[in-house]
Amino acid sequence: MKFPGKRKSKHYFPVSARDPLLVASPVASESIESYIVGIDQILVDIEAQVDDELLERYKLSRGQSLVVDDDRAEALYEELKANDLISHQFAGGTIGNTLHNYSVLADDSSILLGVMSSNIRIGSYAYRYLCNTSSRTNLNYLQAVDGPIGRCFTLIGDNGERTFAISPGDMNQLRPESIPESVIAGASALVITSYLVRCKPGEPMPQAAMQAVNWAHKYQVPVVLTLGTKFVIADDPQWWRDFLREHVSVVAMNEEEAQTLTGLGDPLAAADKVLDWVDLVLCTAGPSGLYMAGYTEETYKRQTRHPLLPGVIPEFNRYEFSRAMLREHCQNPLRVYSHIAPYMGGPEKIMNTNGAGDGALSALLHDITANSYHRINVPNSSKHQRPCLTYSSLAQVCKYANRVSYQVLNQHSPRLTRGLPEREDSLEEAYWER
Ligand SMILES: Nc1ncnc2c1ncn2[C@@H]1O[C@H](COP(=O)(O)OP(=O)(O)O)[C@@H](O)[C@H]1O
Ligand SMILES: Nc1nc2c(ncn2[C@@H]2O[C@H](COP(=O)(O)O)[C@@H](O)[C@H]2O)c(=O)[nH]1
């Protein structure tokens, strides 16, 4: 684990002094492992530059992810190939990306659950998937299937916006018995996506996901849900609200998904509403940056040193220097919020927006796992006098998440090839004060 106590810099983890307990602690020898586990539809992204006319012809919805039948997928593939439009092919899938990026950022393990073709030829999609996944992401628990993994046609418009057309193959054939109880039991978090319920009748993926969620509850492992696309939520927003209330601790979404879920167009108002059901919210808002909303204990709240921000909740960021807690761990829960504008105003030229939201979530997961890693290894640390969910303050997690999104916007693949630099002037407090 690239761990706050081992960093010289305080950029991503705002500790003003090194915790003295760490010096004599087992953290120094990396004794106890921590990892996150996730379930995904195993997909390869096939990226192509297209115009709006093609999206219309294939009845795709700009900026969204839709499943297409085999005939439409084949016609699309042939057209992209015939016109030499395919520019890149990468491993994809929203959770696969998130786990890969987490492993790259944290330099630590994640475990991916899903399916993989049992017969893999060099150069095939399955082969590409394996080659493009971090060696820190454990693929040993994947379930074998006879057919192909999924394909995600990642269609990039002139402005870099991505639209997805999914050809599922066997990606939804994960069975409940392929979810290892012990793997869920030992995880710092279970990460799932709303896409997992988008299946044909009879496909086992939703039951497999539910099995994992039930084990997560049994072992008090926080469930992290990313909302994927507004269309899945729009099918039955009340079902999702109930699901969040019953099963989820942390939710990640963009502003469109947030609106579909809550009926509220303002991302801060929507994030606040979602706090009625979960403990911590990450809401990305494209060129407007991102918001976080969570709970802290009233007596532990910490006032920001940043300017107070206007919004539907006036001066909403007043206590953004607080660390997030599970609501049930607070005697007097206080809602705390933070916002950050895109890092450096956003890249000069956005390669494409594919994976920008996944990137932000992987940074949040790094912070959450760093916290449980530190708690396991240094239980007496002053950091754990109160049971926090994150290692860092909301403000600092926002900064980190935003920085990772920026990195993803600057490249084609949704997956990071390397971690962030250890030191960056632009992440210093001084930069933001300028
Ligand atoms: N056009 C943009 N300009 C600057 N930053 C952007 C832009 N689009 C996205 N970002 C950055 O990427 C993050 C995630 O983007 P977003 O598009 O909201 O996620 P998603 O991929 O889930 O829809 C944003 O919070 C922001 O930091
Ligand atoms: N598991 C699934 N992943 C999907 C699906 N449709 C798209 N995607 C993946 O999302 C990422 C990008 O996410 P972003 O929202 O942060 O841009 C991309 O790599 C796709 O593979 C789906 O139906 N299921």
Instruction: Give the tokens for residue 230.
Output: 């507004």
- 95 annotated ligand binder: yes
Instruction: Give the tokens for residue 387.
Output: 């049971």
Residue 9: CB atoms within 10 A of its CB come to 13
According to the model, what pLDDT value does residue 19 have?
A: 54
Contacting residues for 140 by C-beta, under 8 A, at least 6 apart: none
Domains of the chain in sequence order: 32-41+93-147+170-410 (3.40.1190.20)
Whether the pLDDT of residue 261 is over 50: the answer is yes
Ligand 2 centroid to Cα of residue 169, in Å, is 15
Ligand 2 centroid to Cα of residue 334, in Å, is 34
Nearest-CA residue for ligand 2 atom 6 is 65
pLDDT averaged over every residue in the chain:
89
Contacting residues for 402 by C-beta, under 8 A, at least 6 apart: 289, 290, 340, 342, 343, 360
Question: Percent of the chain beyond pLDDT 90?
Answer: 74
Contacting residues for 202 by C-beta, under 8 A, at least 6 apart: none
Q: What ipTM was assigned to the predicted interfaces of this complex?
A: 0.95
Atom of ligand 1 nearest to the CA of 256: 23
Contacting residues for 75 by C-beta, under 8 A, at least 6 apart: 58
Residues with CB under 6 A from ligand 1: 254, 284-287, 289-290, 342, 346, 350, 353, 356-357, 360, 402, 405, 409
Rounded CA separation 167/169 (Å): 6
Report in angstroms the alpha-carbon separations of 363 from 277, 359, 426: 22, 7, 17
According to the model, what pLDDT value does residue 75 have?
A: 95
Whether the pLDDT of residue 101 is over 60: the answer is yes
Report in angstroms the alpha-carbon separations of 201 from 170, 336, 367: 14, 41, 37
Which among 117, 364, 341, 334 has a CA at the least distance from the CA of 253? 364
Rounded CA separation 271/281 (Å): 6
Give pLDDT tens digits for 363-395. 999 999 999 888 888 888 888 888 999 998 999
Query: Cα dihedral sign for 211, 33, 25, 15?
Result: negative
Give pLDDT tens digits for 337-348. 999 999 888 888
Q: Are 260 and 279 in contact (CB under 8 A)?
A: no
Whether the pLDDT of residue 331 is over 70: the answer is yes
Q: What is the mean pLDDT of residues 290-296?
A: 98
Whether the pLDDT of residue 430 is over 60: the answer is no
Q: Are 413 and 90 in contact (CB under 8 A)?
A: yes
Which among 57, 63, 61, 89 has a CA at the least distance from the CA of 75? 57
Give pLDDT tens digits for 53-80. 999 999 998 888 899 999 999 999 999 9
Question: Percent of the chain beyond pLDDT 70?
Answer: 90
Higher pLDDT, 413 or 21: 413
* Ligand 2 neighbourhood includes 129 CB (under 6 angstroms): no
Which among 361, 370, 344, 378 has a CA at the least distance from the CA of 414? 361
Give pLDDT tens digits for 107-123. 899 999 999 999 999 99
Which among 288, 63, 46, 88 has a CA at the least distance from the CA of 157? 63
Q: Are 257 and 227 in contact (CB under 8 A)?
A: yes
Strand positions, DSSP E, 178-313: 189-193, 223-226, 250-254, 280-284, 290-297
Question: Which element (helix H / strand E) includes 273?
Answer: helix 267-274
